[in-house]
Amino acid sequence: MHGWWAVTCPAPRTAPTGTNRRSALAMAPAARARLVLIAIAAAVLTVDQMTKSLAVHLIDEAAVVWGPVSIAVSRNTGGPFGLASSMSAVWLAVAVLGAVTAVWGVTRVGRIDAVTVAAAIVAGGVFGNLADRVARGRAGAVPGVIDWIILDPYPFAFNLADVALRAGAVALVVATFRRGFEAV
């Protein structure tokens, strides 16, 4: 190229010799999908931990009541719905297994769809409750997951990680069935 346009318009870039340009470009959307899914899980974790921190620091021993919704801080050392509270080590192991499975599942996908978004939401919920079990299991801290939402007539206290776990699990089942039916 000669002339002024050679300076203002550089030559188009080409793939280095011996590489498959098509596969290099195909990797970008998969990496972008993983980042988006990890960001969704991180957002769920962050919002859950922020709301738990606010509840612990702003709510006294007495519950704040707004119609059917009450806000009161409690600690759940057991599993879902407060089951088996004497087995906190088992629940910690289950949470770690769930977290590892969630990370493996979210990082193995190369696309964003309803199933993977639901899985990322579940992963965020798992990490929200796991963070409580690990951080509050240290010496000097009151052990257990912080629950702070009470919805009348629902008999159990819960938190936003629990909401993410349940809503994400329902969405995961529905999206999985829809994907299976659309594939047929």
In a domain, 2, yes or no: no
In a domain, 5, yes or no: no
pLDDT tens, position by position, for the chain (184 residues)? Answer: 555 444 555 555 555 555 555 554 455 677 777 788 889 999 999 999 999 989 888 876 667 788 888 888 888 876 665 555 555 566 667 767 777 776 676 666 667 788 888 888 988 998 898 888 777 666 556 667 888 898 888 888 889 999 998 899 899 889 888 877 654 4
If you write DSSP's letter for every residue of 84-98 in order, what string do you get? TTT-HHHHHHHHHHH
In a domain, 75, yes or no: yes
**The domain containing residue 46 runs over which residues?**
36-183
pTM, 2 dp: 0.71
In a domain, 114, yes or no: yes
Domain count along the chain: 1
In a domain, 26, yes or no: no
In degrees and rounded to multiples of 5, residue 152 shows phi and psi of -75, 130
In a domain, 8, yes or no: no
The two tokens of residue 183 are: 């594939």
**How many angstroms separate the first and last alpha carbons of the chain?**
55
In a domain, 76, yes or no: yes
